[in-house]
Structure 1
């Protein structure tokens, strides 16, 4: 991926003097391998359910909703 340095920042957010900003927290999450792994797994699950026509709760939720156990 090619990156181009920007002369102006994308977001002009006020710094929070009491702690890290939301943007800094998001950057920390994105840099975590565990977070990325879980995010990719969740996206794959959601897409698979959409392709297969399974409701958002999944098959277990659907069985509970229909009274099957």
Structure 2
């Protein structure tokens, strides 16, 4: 069984320690799996957001992060 989490020492990776990785596959449907769609967004979050002490503080910090990085393209 594959794990979607990639844990490592703090000095080996940038950002937080709770990173996700994209599982490679020859199946085109695999690109639509949740972990493949959100891995880059999750990995770009600040460690203070990921390590929030409560769910409500995580949501508030996530909203701030998404408001800063949201670019609307039309």
Q: TM-score, normalised by structure 2?
A: 0.28
Q: Which has the higher contact order (CA 8 A, sep 6+)?
A: 2
Question: Over alpha carbons, which structure has the higher Rg?
Answer: 1
Q: TM-score, normalised by structure 1?
A: 0.30
Whichever structure has more helix as a proportion of its residues is 1
